[in-house]
Amino acid sequence: MDKKEFPGAVQNWPGGGMVVTSLTDVVNWSRANSLWPLVFGTSCCAIEMMSAASAKYDWSRFGFEVARATPRQADLIICAGTIVYKMAPVLKRLYDQMADPKYVIAMGACTISGGPFFYNSYSVVRGVDHIVPVDVYIPGCPPRPEALLHALIELQLKIKNRKSGDTKQVVSNI
Amino acid sequence: MIDKEEIEDLTQAHEEDFILNVGPQHPSTHGVLRLKIKLQGETVTHIEPHLGYIHRSIEKMCEASSYRNFIYLTSRMDYLSAHMNNQACAMVVEKGLQLEIPKRAKVIRILMSELTRLASHQLWWACTGLDLGATTPFFVGFRDREVILDIFDETCGSRLTMDYNVPGGIMFDIHPNFQKNVHAFLKGFKKNLPEYHQLLTGNVIFQNRTKGVGYLSPEDTISFGCSGPTARGSGVSCDIRKWQPYDGYEDVQFNEVLETAGDCYARYLVRMREMEESVKIIEQLIDNIPEGDFQAKTKAVLKLPKGEFYSRVETARGELGVYLVSDGTSKPYRMKFRSPNFSNLSALREIAVGGKIGDLVANMAMLDLVIPDIDR
């Protein structure tokens, strides 16, 4: 079955119909199609993230347009930009403040490994996965908006294929 | 001016004072700036910016890279003026090598700089609208900006951090479609510019929120070292393209935009009129790109003679200075960037103290800060 469609089968009955599905599938389907990202951009990648929100790339086609400024209303952190040691506790706190289920996308080379340039820097965290668990990585410096859209669709697929009872591991305090 | 007694430690706050913490994760700080604000009722009585949330030690990293490589670090500094940052660094190396770059490279550099300035101002305009509560400017600004980014993509191979400059000129020649696409962009942008003014400039709500808000006197502008549209909105002439022309700016006709009101609205108008000036510069040069080499011949490993070198350019936010100390080896001994945003941020206290907390967002938007350029 196409994952973009509603997960279930419609049984036609006289005078109406009945949908047969499983609760996990419906929950995953609705979660995947209404991901609310947190506005969290530290540097260059944030500009490409804004481009992805603009009319040309238009991430609202996939249900991401409700960008929230507070972590308490967000489902997803798109880590757009370098994380340095001074910022790391802030990111951890933002992640902790989000309600479950929560997802993280590491956007750009800096969040994957500390960056193509800043890897040897004394102040840069070498990969955001030292702080929070990451679901999808996007390479690039900065990645194109198309790459971000691809990552968001990959994340949707990941959520849709989630089995009930799966829990995410949270890295303990840094 | 603020009295010295007023600049007190925030720990000495009185009982009726309210301490508000803005950032480091806050959409209107355009990045990860953190501001500690002391309020009395709704009035801002003290502001203390906290830096370092995106300190990536670019200056130190430059000292570990060769003279060819360090240029590419600097496009991550003020990423909205990436081309101008690269240009300043290429110029300081050329100064050290006493290298004259070909005329074609100079003209292409100016064209790219002005396109970058346009893209940067469009993004600023889009975000200003968003900060002040209007969503439509975001889509209008980004619509036109994407056209410029496509031109960059075609010629430089990258949308945002172009890395197009090398010591001695530019990395490769322009794409065959470059001139045609720039003409198409200019035609569309000139048609769309009245829409910009319709949406924000003439908007009563916008004018009420910016006119008379955040006054910065010319004396304070100079003493804080502000530059760019922030300074020109207070009537201080500081355009490096006019005062110390580089890479052939002396041959093009354009006006330095000055406003004298010194408030948010004046800074807004400076940027809007600067866009028109950039269009004028591009129109003069786009059909007159001279033939010839696009890069001067250089050695594979560059070595600068012992000494100190300085170059400065006008980025979209003000004066960027690059100071380089060479010890005769193939790597810089010391790099120092005089970034426009750092100086402009230092004037924030002067601008916002005494005003209302609601006006802080307007003040921040009109300073047009890029935080990685402050922290570096």
In a domain, A107, yes or no: yes
In a domain, A90, yes or no: yes
B143 touches chain A (CB under 8 A): yes
In a domain, A3, yes or no: no
In a domain, B144, yes or no: yes
Helix (H) or strand (E) holding B71: helix B70-73
In a domain, A80, yes or no: yes
B146·A54 Cβ contact <8 A: yes
Give the per-residue pLDDT at A15.
82
In a domain, B4, yes or no: no
Cβ(B252)–Cβ(B285) below 8 Å? yes
Please tell me which residue of chain B has the smallest CA distance to A114.
B56
With a cut of 50, list the residues of chain B below it in pLDDT.
1-7
Q: What is the domain-level CATH number for residue B356?
A: 1.10.645.10
Q: Rounded to a whole number, what is the distance in Å from the CA of B140 to chain A's nearest CA?
A: 9
A144 touches chain B (CB under 8 A): yes
**Which chain B residues have a beta carbon less than 8 Å from that of A40?**
25
- Amino acid symbol at B365: A
Residue keyed to tokens 């400065």: B312
What range defines the domain where residue A95 resides? Answer: 30-160
A56·B143 Cβ contact <8 A: yes
Please tell me which residue of chain A has the smallest CA distance to B31.
A42
In a domain, B3, yes or no: no
A66 touches chain B (CB under 8 A): no
**Per-residue model confidence as pLDDT tens digits over A102-148:** 899 999 888 888 878 777 888 888 888 888 889 899 988 889 999 99
In a domain, B227, yes or no: yes
Which residues sit opposite B323 in a β-bridge? B310, B336
Task: Please tell me the distance from the alpha carbon of residue B143 to that of residue A65, in angstroms, as a whole number.
Answer: 17
pLDDT over 50 at A169, yes or no: no
Q: What is the domain-level CATH number for residue A35?
A: 3.40.50.12280
A123 touches chain B (CB under 8 A): yes
Q: Rounded to a whole number, what is the distance in Å from the CA of B72 to chain A's nearest CA?
A: 9
Within 8 A by CB and 6+ apart from B367, the residues are B230, B267, B344, B345, B347, B348, B351
Task: Please tell me the distance from the alpha carbon of residue B335 to that of residue B330, in angstroms, as a whole number.
Answer: 13
B54 touches chain A (CB under 8 A): yes
In a domain, A47, yes or no: yes
B192 touches chain A (CB under 8 A): no
In a domain, B1, yes or no: no
A87·B73 Cβ contact <8 A: no
How much is the average pLDDT of A29-49? 85
Cβ(B55)–Cβ(A123) below 8 Å? yes
Which ipTM value was assigned to this complex? 0.83
Number of domains in chain A: 1
Comparing CA positions, the residue from B161, B157, B149 lying closest to residue A109 is B161
Give the per-residue pLDDT at A173.
35
**Per-residue model confidence as pLDDT tens digits over B49-70:** 888 888 888 888 888 888 888 8
In a domain, A149, yes or no: yes
Number of domains in chain B: 1
Task: Please tell me the distance from the alpha carbon of residue B360 to that of residue B45, in angstroms, as a whole number.
Answer: 12
B55·A84 Cβ contact <8 A: yes
**Which chain B residues have a beta carbon less than 8 Å from that of A68?**
none
What range defines the domain where residue B117 resides? Answer: 10-296+303-375
A121·B57 Cβ contact <8 A: yes
